[in-house]
Amino acid sequence: MKLRTPWPPDLSGVANEAGTQIAGDNRLPTKNAALRGFTIAAAIAIFIADSITSLDIAAATLYVAVVLMASRFLRPRDIAIVGLGCIALALLSWYITPPAVSVTLAVANEFISIGAIALVTVLARHAKLSEAEVFNSERRLRDVQKALAHANRLTTMGELMASLSHELKQPISASATNAQAGVRWLAASPPNLESARQSFERIIQDAARASAILERTRELSRKSASRKNRVQLNDAIAEVLVLLQHEFLKENVAVEIRLDQTLPPVEADRVQLQQVVLNLAMNAVEAMSEFPEGPRKLIIQSATVQSGDVLITVQDSGPGFAAENADRLFETFYTTKTSGIGMGLAICRSIVEDHGGRLWADTNQVARGSVFRFTLPRSPVRTANSGENPVGGAYL
């Protein structure tokens, strides 16, 4: 098996299971240096022991420990070199060691030792190659997942384009109207400076609104590496709802927002979590818009559960789904929509699980519709001397 990447693999920019950066862990080189020293010392000690003891004692077999230790920090090719080196040392000892009582036993011992070193070298090298292959496959899988998540975000943003351009048109037209009014107030005789000032202030507010919408759209569309910070989920949810405002109006959906103001921050990638909320809310709107009966109501709720974790609920009054399908919804390519892809919920679940949380669906027990819930662990407590800056929140 040929390795396509150098060994040791370049860990920079690669996230571990918890999604945090593992590059730059400077404890690893120190640990490796100690193990290297210990391995060399063990090889010297075994060589001395093997050289001063009789050939009847197969002390050279202990070199397998040297090969195993070396395999912890060496690349596959170097493990083979260490194995050959150990065999060379065993043969050298054979020549300088006092003669054995039984020549047959001495020869048999030497063969056993060299055979054991060779076998362990082959196995250790093979294990290292498999480890590298697994690492590369996991990295490729993560790359594909990231690309899919980005594509899904772009698709959702594409679906929202009509709403977003409408959302942008409003502050721009309002700015033009206010600018005309401001000019009129200034041209009056005498000029009405106070009214003109108010017109210009309204222009500033509208410009800020348009710029915030553009900034959020850009953030969500951007392809960026996973960045985990302290996130105030209530703010992240509110930003997504601003983007969806026109969609709610268009589909006649009444939105009820119940945000727990004491919600603790979570350690998360803000854009990824916004993608989850965006997908769940868009699915809810789509489900309700295909179902003409009754009022359309969407409830978005944040709460803190007993364990201190955060719970987000997205509940709609759409047709719901058959209870036995609750898990199938999260399977890749499962869709009941004519133009659906069936990736949205699968991506949402993998994002939430990557953050140490859980995402699941229930049918609404009280009224009609679906309830999607996800939990996230609260951000770990930081001490004043942890050297990290809280993002969007005070120290806990």
Binding residues among 298-317 for ligand ADP as defined by CB under 6 A:
316
Encode burial over 36-53: b for 16+ CB neighbours within 10 A, e otherwise: eeebeebbeebbeebbee
Which is nearer to ligand ADP, 264 or 320 (by Cβ)? 320
Q: Does 335 bind ligand ADP (CB under 6 A)?
A: yes
Span of 52-60, 99-107, 208-216, 336-344 interacting with ligand ADP by CB under 6 A: 336-344
Span of 24-32, 109-117, 300-308, 329-337 interacting with ligand ADP by CB under 6 A: 329-337
Shortest distance in whole angstroms from residue 255 CB to ligand ADP: 14
Q: Does 283 bind ligand ADP (CB under 6 A)?
A: yes
Q: Does 334 bind ligand ADP (CB under 6 A)?
A: yes
Q: Does 329 bind ligand ADP (CB under 6 A)?
A: yes
Span of 125-133, 210-218, 335-343, 350-358 interacting with ligand ADP by CB under 6 A: 335-343
Shortest distance in whole angstroms from residue 334 CB to ligand ADP: 5
Q: Does 83 bind ligand ADP (CB under 6 A)?
A: no
Shortest distance in whole angstroms from residue 276 CB to ligand ADP: 11
Nearest to 200 by CA among 173, 167, 177: 177
Which is nearer to ligand ADP, 84 or 162 (by Cβ)? 162
Q: Which of 79, 345, 351, 376 binds ligand ADP (CB under 6 A)?
A: 345
Shortest distance in whole angstroms from residue 283 CB to ligand ADP: 3
Which is nearer to ligand ADP, 94 or 372 (by Cβ)? 372
Size of the site for ligand ADP (CB under 6 A): 21
Q: Does 284 bind ligand ADP (CB under 6 A)?
A: yes
From residue 374, alpha-carbon distances to 138, 228, 356 in Å are: 25, 18, 11
Q: Does 340 bind ligand ADP (CB under 6 A)?
A: yes
Span of 9-17, 53-61, 205-213, 278-286 interacting with ligand ADP by CB under 6 A: 278-286
Shortest distance in whole angstroms from residue 269 CB to ligand ADP: 19
Mapped to the 3 state alphabet, what secondary structure does the chain carry?
A: CCCCCCCCCCCCCCECCCCCECCCCCHHHHHHHHHHHHHHHHHHHHHHHHHHCCCCCCHHHHHHHHHHHHCCCCCHHHHHHHHHHHHHHHHHHHHHCCCCCCHHHHHHHHHHHHHHHHHHHHHHHHHHHHHHHHHHHHHHHHHHHHHHHHHHHHHHHHHHHHHHHHHHHHHHHHHHHHHHHHHHHHHCCCCCHHHHHHHHHHHHHHHHHHHHHHHHHHHHHCCCCCCCEEECHHHHHHHHHHHHHHHHHHCCCEEEEEECCCCCCEEECHHHHHHHHHHHHHHHHHHHHCCCCCCCEEEEEEEECCCCCEEEEEEECCCCCCHHHCCHHHCCCCCCCCCCCCCHHHHHHHHHHHCCCEEEEEECCCCCCEEEEEEECECCCCCCCCCCCCCCCCCC
Span of 4-12, 68-76, 235-243, 328-336 interacting with ligand ADP by CB under 6 A: 328-336
Shortest distance in whole angstroms from residue 291 CB to ligand ADP: 9
Q: Does 363 bind ligand ADP (CB under 6 A)?
A: no
Q: Does 285 bind ligand ADP (CB under 6 A)?
A: no
**Contact residues for ligand ADP, defined by CB under 6 A:** 279, 283-284, 287, 316, 318, 320-321, 329, 334-337, 340-346, 370
